[in-house]
């Protein structure tokens, strides 16, 4: 083995637009259910994109004990998703009943985004200030309105590291605590770096993954201005079309996915069920443009190659690739090029799909959610499809598992994430051999 300490996964949990737990999410994916619907979180009727992939009818008190939920009453929307997902993962791992767990060597490492509370306050202040008789932000009305609207909890909760703090508090763990926000690559990077923490002995157990909700006016406005969102308002359900010729952008989603990582030795010693082993991690930067990927896919290819090297594997050893697959015009054809560069002659033989076709794009939480689908593919020996593939794109000419799940022999999966700014991160998860 390249590393003295192997890293395994013993728990997983998720709250997302397709389901409020892992099994409901997986069943929905296998049935081909689609998450996009008319935006109900705010009035988007005047926006170019009037829909999103929303988490509906989620109640934190229904997912964790009421007394525990009461201690997190100030938590923001995305943080509540993370608390629910973390509770599911923690219970599955069996660590809640493991009296010998050293909580000083149990950490939290997340990729979570900024909260929406401060954005809401800011917009509210602007609206209220404009509606005063003076209609000017140069008067004393602005600080007065801000003071009335802002309070300590709302100001603090919008910070991106607050999710880490809430999870550490809920679980009572006092080891290393980190948050990384590298856009759409964030949770994949967090998981990869959490693996390194355990490999090199800085922690024995880490709660990792991601959480995000950007379905608010500023989030939608920003992505619309970037022309990144689908505007298929007349066909909302099938708006997310990764690798399809008619794709016109991604569907903005929200949610959280959490995994429990620990040393192989600890998991075996306590009799835990091992869901998979993370055997490879790779990262790279495009060093190209802030909002555009390297058009030849060299950065993404380098990330995949680094993960293969870390795992001591060849492309032929990978049974499935969970693509970043956003359904933007550029991303999908660049990721196709990158896979061809990294996998060479094996690229046409490797099944690929995008969970975003069904679940939407969960931004910072996307990578962790997609890694969970890899674990389930290994468990059930079935590959999730790329939904809504209606017309082949000649520039996206690999095996994208169109429209229906596929039975397969699945031992090792690769999961790709690529973020604005040129961040690329890749994980390889394998069935755990003794």
Decide if 200 is inside a domain.
Answer: yes
Here the CATH number for the domain that contains residue 28 is 3.40.47.10
Q: What is the pLDDT of residue 420?
A: 84
Same domain, 190 and 262: yes
By DSSP bridging, strand 51-52 and strand 106-112 are unpaired
Rounded to 5 degrees, φ, ψ at 15 are -130, 115
In order of 123, 141, 143, 147, the CA distances from 137 in angstroms are: 13, 7, 9, 14
Please report how the helices 186-199 and 366-380 are oriented relative to each other, as an axis angle in degrees rounded to 10. 70
Q: Extract the tokens encoding 377.
A: 């593919």
Decide if 18 is inside a domain.
Answer: yes
Q: How many residues does the chain have?
A: 434
Same domain, 242 and 297: yes
Same domain, 126 and 256: no
Same domain, 135 and 197: no
Do 242 and 416 meet the contact criterion of CB atoms below 8 Å apart?
no
Decide if 131 is inside a domain.
Answer: yes
In order of 7, 262, 281, 308, 425, the CA distances from 3 in angstroms are: 10, 14, 13, 15, 20
Decide if 205 is inside a domain.
Answer: yes
By DSSP bridging, strand 276-285 and strand 7-15 are antiparallel
Q: Give the integer Cα–Cα distance in Å for 29 and 302.
A: 30
Same domain, 187 and 334: yes
Q: Extract the tokens encoding 376.
A: 């389930």
Decide if 211 is inside a domain.
Answer: yes
Same domain, 208 and 343: yes
Do 379 and 347 meet the contact criterion of CB atoms below 8 Å apart?
no
Q: What is the pLDDT of residue 433?
A: 85
Same domain, 102 and 176: yes
Do 308 and 428 meet the contact criterion of CB atoms below 8 Å apart?
yes
Total tally of structural domains belonging to the chain:
2
Same domain, 368 and 250: yes
Same domain, 141 and 176: no
Same domain, 138 and 185: no
Catalytic residue among 125, 184, 374, 396: 184
pLDDT tens, the chain, 434 aa long = 577 899 999 999 999 999 999 999 999 999 999 999 999 999 999 999 999 999 999 999 999 999 999 889 888 899 999 999 999 999 999 999 999 999 999 999 999 987 665 555 555 555 555 555 544 545 555 455 455 555 555 556 666 688 999 999 999 999 999 999 999 999 999 999 999 999 999 999 999 999 999 999 989 999 999 999 999 999 999 999 999 999 999 999 999 999 999 999 999 999 999 999 999 999 999 999 877 788 899 999 999 999 999 999 999 999 999 999 999 999 999 999 999 999 999 999 999 999 999 999 999 999 999 999 999 999 999 999 999 999 999 999 999 999 999 999 999 999 999 998 899 999 999 999 87
Decide if 1 is inside a domain.
Answer: no
pTM of the model: 0.92
Q: What is the pLDDT of residue 137?
A: 47
Catalytic residue among 63, 324, 374, 413: 324
Tell me if residue 63 is catalytic: no
Tell me if residue 184 is catalytic: yes
Decide if 163 is inside a domain.
Answer: yes
Catalytic residue among 63, 72, 216, 361: 361
Decide if 179 is inside a domain.
Answer: yes
Of the candidates 104, 119, 232, 254, the residue with the CA atom closest to the CA atom of residue 174: 104
127 is in which domain, residue-wise? 119-147
Q: Give the integer Cα–Cα distance in Å for 93 and 260.
A: 7
Same domain, 128 and 40: no
Tell me if residue 324 is catalytic: yes
Same domain, 189 and 201: yes
């Amino acid at each position: 083995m390249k590393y003295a300490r192997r890293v395994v996964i013993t728990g997983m949990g998720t709250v997302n637009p397709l389901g409020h737990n892992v099994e409901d999410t997986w069943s929905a994916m296998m049935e081909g259910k689609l998450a996009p619907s008319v935006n109900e979180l705010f009035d988007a009727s005047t926006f170019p994109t009037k829909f999103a992939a929303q988490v509906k009818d989620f109640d934190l008190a229904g997912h964790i004990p009421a007394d525990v939920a009461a201690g997190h009453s100030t938590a923001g929307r995305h943080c509540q998703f993370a608390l629910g997902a973390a509770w599911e993962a923690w219970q599955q791992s069996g660590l809640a009943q493991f009296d010998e767990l050293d909580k000083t060597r149990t950490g939290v490492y997340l990729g979570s985004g900024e909260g929406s509370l401060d954005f809401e306050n800011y917009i509210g202040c602007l609206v209220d200030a404009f509606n005063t008789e003076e209609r000017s932000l140069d008067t004393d009305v602005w600080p007065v309105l801000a003071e009335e609207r802002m309070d300590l909890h709302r100001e603090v909760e919008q910070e991106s590291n607050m999710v880490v703090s809430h999870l550490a508090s809920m679980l009572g763990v006092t080891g290393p605590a980190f948050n990384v926000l590298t856009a759409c690559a964030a949770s994949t990077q967090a998981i990869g770096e959490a693996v390194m923490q355990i490999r090199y002995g800085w922690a024995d157990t880490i709660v990792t993954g991601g959480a995000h909700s950007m379905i608010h006016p500023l989030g939608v406005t920003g992505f619309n201005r970037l022309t990144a969102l689908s505007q298929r308002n007349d066909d909302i359900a099938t708006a997310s079309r990764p690798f399809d010729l008619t794709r016109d952008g991604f569907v903005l989603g929200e949610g959280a996915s959490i995994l429990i990582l620990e040393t192989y030795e600890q998991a075996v010693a306590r009799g835990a069920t091992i869901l998979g082993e993370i055997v490879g991690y790779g990262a790279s930067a495009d060093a190209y443009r802030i909002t555009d990927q390297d058009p030849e896919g060299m950065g993404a290819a380098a990330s995949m190659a680094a993960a293969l090297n870390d795992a001591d594997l060849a492309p032929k050893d990978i049974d499935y690739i969970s693509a970043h697959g956003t359904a933007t015009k550029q991303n999908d054809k660049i990721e196709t090029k990158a896979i061809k560069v990294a996998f060479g002659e094996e690229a046409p033989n490797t099944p690929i799909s995008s969970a975003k076709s069904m679940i939407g794009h969960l931004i910072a939480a996307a990578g962790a959610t997609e890694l969970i689908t890899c674990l389930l593919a290994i468990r059930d020996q079935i590959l999730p499809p790329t939904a809504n593939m209606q017309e082949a794109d000649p520039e996206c000419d690999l095996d994208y598992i169109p429209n229906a799940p596929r039975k397969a022999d699945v031992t090792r999966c690769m999961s790709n994430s690529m973020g604005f700014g040129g961040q690329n991160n890749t994980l390889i998860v394998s069935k755990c051999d003794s």
